[in-house]
Structure 1
């Protein structure tokens, strides 16, 4: 029996034998049953579905949010956020290390662009169209095959492609070493599952959604808390950005140290916030082990050689890209429909530019104030946050660039806070990407994924704002 199946079996047996570990629904029902089994009247109320609402609500708030909440994970996560800030901001070595890793992953993932020029011209690729960009997901899945594959598969491919494989083996060694060491660190110090640790280690360096593929066979078996954490912080990057977009934002005038520091600091912060939002109530399948998908759990067995593994990754990448495109189109269409309705209603009251962006700008006003932005610039920064949430971080950084070259630029303090707060994929468009990627990885969990995705987006947004406040 392979390692992954052994872990799954052990976790299942441990869950069956433990009288203290249940799902949230099982805990609530057991608590109600224990309190009412000696009271026939109350027992009949439970059987009739008329359990007193106040009693259940009180138990859920106290039991789920306080007693079951893993406070060590929360406290350690917030502590590491401060430590990482000191290491990256106050030492040149810390910044250089993290930027080198981000550049390495970005350069490797960027090798999909020359291949895309086979289907499109170079000018089309340079325009960074969304459709063209996410077709490279097929290449990114090859990237995961490279990291996760057995070395013997690569050696079999090296007979006729020695230089290519030597380079890829070097990249594999560097990135896999970083992922493995960081994952083990998060797993040991923050008491999270192996799958959560792996995607936590990979999230700042690879693209939005791709790190979930590193634990692909375990996504379908993940608990609700794990899925929420995948979306809030790591796998789909609501609180981080990927190495592939660093150069784009740097060209817009954002200091690279701000981007790298914000992404790395937001990892432990988002773990803490996500675990406060949805505590772990089940036994994760990967608890007690850090395992990367090596392709052995797929239907049809392990790949026979490197070419077979690459073909599988490309095929699955095309499925993921299709899910992303369909979901983003649906979410954005809904947003623009809401904007149209708001504009139509606003005209009836004399407000001709009533949009989500305008409303969110005022909603984020108090949040921006508590982040430490100087009072005269609060509204400007809050509108930038609204733009990020409503559109995306690229449009927000573009607006920030226009403000900085205008006659009334932001003060250095406001600019620093804004550059940190805008760093992340927490926006309505990314909501569609989240649902698309994880639904492709785990079709049977699509209902849960769609239900908790908005909560994960908000948690990721809060993590980046917390990071900005510290900066």
Structure 2
């Protein structure tokens, strides 16, 4: 029954996107169908086949090995404190090492070339323009703002529909620099499964809501992704960016968790419920539509609502406490849903990034900011639902 409900949920998401579409005549149904089929294949292969499970486990083991190198650096700096399980030290400090590693792979052109050609393959298979496909794949590695900055020279050429797709697909993603942090909070296999599926979730729904044609296509210049002039500059910049990211995430967590505590105190006095309980009931129908067991939809909904209202880290902090008591299917669906930047705070960050590049485009984006967040959240729902089909 849960599988049937999830299938109906996927149909409902696509139906809602169709109703929201501003150009139904030019919707590329072929592209949407191909991308949905790729998502289903990826989820089935990684979660339901012996080979896929071995591949996924090998990737998880590889990531864990890389993280173990980061732990060496953390242990050297923090000594015995690194064995105490402090969130700031053991989780956030890992962002510095991973960010530096990504910077090395970028300087050596390994990542830019991979992103360019994978994005080109996505464009060729689906019929979508290269810029949109490039940003979607780029977002899987570098996150929303960096992905947008990598195509800043093309931004002024983008129509409102193309801008919508670029921004929305970048929100239905996360940065690999913080994957290590996620993998220490939720099951690593679901973090890695969600990454490629997210690429297509954002593109499917945003390209239905705001269709584009491939006639407006451009070639991608990867040199814009490589600002450093030497390897040591790349390592230094990567570490500094990682350090800033860790501090920003820490500052946001302090702020949001403190605000939630204050809000919960007020709500408890007024209505006898916490914010998480209220959003749990609001998101419960969505959780049910995703195939989560009915006995757990309110708990799952509370995590999902917290993620949209605050951010994924705040939601994961709550979710970590629930995981041992939840069904495996619920854990997989919610974990996959959480692996994206689709939340209110990210809209402000994206607007600021676009404003710094092109004020006119930022003005266009500001008018559809809530619509972008809605479609990006629907993309996260689509990812979680597809993962749930194979659990």
Compute the TM-score of the two structures, normalised by the length of structure 1.
0.60
1:306 aligns with 2:264: no
* Structure 2 counterpart of 1:433, from 349, 360, 364: 349
Structure 2 CA distance, aligned partners of 1:95 and 1:177? 27
Q: Give 3-state SS (helix, strand or coil) of 1:280's partner.
A: coil
C-alpha distance 451-86 of structure 1, shift in aligned 2 (>3 A): same
Corresponding residue for residue 191 of structure 1 = 127
Corresponding residue for residue 322 of structure 2 = 403
C-alpha distance 253-375 of structure 1, shift in aligned 2 (>3 A): same
C-alpha distance 385-295 of structure 1, shift in aligned 2 (>3 A): closer
C-alpha distance 80-444 of structure 1, shift in aligned 2 (>3 A): same
Corresponding residue for residue 271 of structure 2 = 351
Structure 2 CA distance, aligned partners of 1:364 and 1:453? 21
* Structure 2 counterpart of 1:268, from 196, 200, 214: 200
Corresponding residue for residue 209 of structure 2 = 277
C-alpha distance 274-314 of structure 1, shift in aligned 2 (>3 A): same
Could you tell me whether the CA contact under 8 Å between 2:140 and 2:175 is conserved in 1?
yes
- Map Cα deviations across residues 344-394 of structure 1 (whole Å, 9 max, x no partner): 6985xx415564x44432221111111111111111111111121122222
- Map Cα deviations across residues 7-42 of structure 1 (whole Å, 9 max, x no partner): xxxxxxxxxxxxxxxxxxxxxxxxxxxxxxxxxxxx
Higher RCO structure, 1 or 2 (CA under 8 Å, sep 6+): 2
Corresponding residue for residue 248 of structure 1 = 181
Could you tell me whether the CA contact under 8 Å between 1:346 and 1:353 is conserved in 2?
yes
Could you tell me whether the CA contact under 8 Å between 2:256 and 2:310 is conserved in 1?
no
Give the Å deviation of 1:186: 0.8
* Structure 1 counterpart of 2:292, from 366, 373, 378: 373
* Structure 2 counterpart of 1:76, from 7, 10, 34: 34
Corresponding residue for residue 86 of structure 1 = 44
Q: Give 3-state SS (helix, strand or coil) of 2:157's partner.
A: coil
C-alpha distance 75-90 of structure 1, shift in aligned 2 (>3 A): same
Q: Give 3-state SS (helix, strand or coil) of 1:364's partner.
A: helix
Could you tell me whether the CA contact under 8 Å between 1:105 and 1:206 is conserved in 2?
no
Corresponding residue for residue 361 of structure 2 = 445
Aligned CA RMSD, in angstroms, stands at 4.6
Structure 1 CA distance, aligned partners of 2:20 and 2:150? 35
Could you tell me whether the CA contact under 8 Å between 1:228 and 1:453 is conserved in 2?
no
Corresponding residue for residue 190 of structure 2 = 258
Structure 2 CA distance, aligned partners of 1:467 and 1:78? 10
Structure 1 CA distance, aligned partners of 2:197 and 2:185? 22
Structure 1 CA distance, aligned partners of 2:92 and 2:182? 16
Corresponding residue for residue 151 of structure 1 = none
Corresponding residue for residue 388 of structure 1 = 307
Structure 2 CA distance, aligned partners of 1:209 and 1:363? 30
Could you tell me whether the CA contact under 8 Å between 2:95 and 2:180 is conserved in 1?
no
Q: Which range moved further: 384-393 or 107-116? A: 107-116
Q: Which runs of 5+ in 1 are unaligned?
A: 1-60, 148-171, 297-301
C-alpha distance 416-103 of structure 1, shift in aligned 2 (>3 A): closer
Corresponding residue for residue 462 of structure 1 = 378
Structure 2 CA distance, aligned partners of 1:445 and 1:192? 21
Q: Which runs of 5+ in 2 are unaligned?
A: 1-18, 83-87
Could you tell me whether the CA contact under 8 Å between 1:266 and 1:463 is conserved in 2?
yes
C-alpha distance 176-354 of structure 1, shift in aligned 2 (>3 A): closer
Could you tell me whether the CA contact under 8 Å between 1:95 and 1:260 is conserved in 2?
no
Q: Radius of gyration: which is bigger?
A: 1
1:224 aligns with 2:160: yes
Structure 2 CA distance, aligned partners of 1:108 and 1:221? 39
Could you tell me whether the CA contact under 8 Å between 2:67 and 2:180 is conserved in 1?
no
Structure with higher helix content: 2
- Map Cα deviations across residues 161-216 of structure 1 (whole Å, 9 max, x no partner): xxxxxxxxxxx2xx344323311211111111111121222222233422223323
The alignment of Structure 1 onto Structure 2 pairs a total of residues equal to 357
Q: Give 3-state SS (helix, strand or coil) of 1:192's partner.
A: coil
Structure 2 CA distance, aligned partners of 1:176 and 1:100? 24
Corresponding residue for residue 126 of structure 1 = 89
1:412 aligns with 2:317: no
Structure 1 CA distance, aligned partners of 2:23 and 2:29? 10
Could you tell me whether the CA contact under 8 Å between 1:240 and 1:263 is conserved in 2?
yes
Corresponding residue for residue 152 of structure 1 = none
Structure 2 CA distance, aligned partners of 1:283 and 1:354? 51
Give the Å deviation of 1:341: 8.9
Corresponding residue for residue 181 of structure 1 = 117
Structure 2 CA distance, aligned partners of 1:411 and 1:63? 36
C-alpha distance 335-447 of structure 1, shift in aligned 2 (>3 A): farther
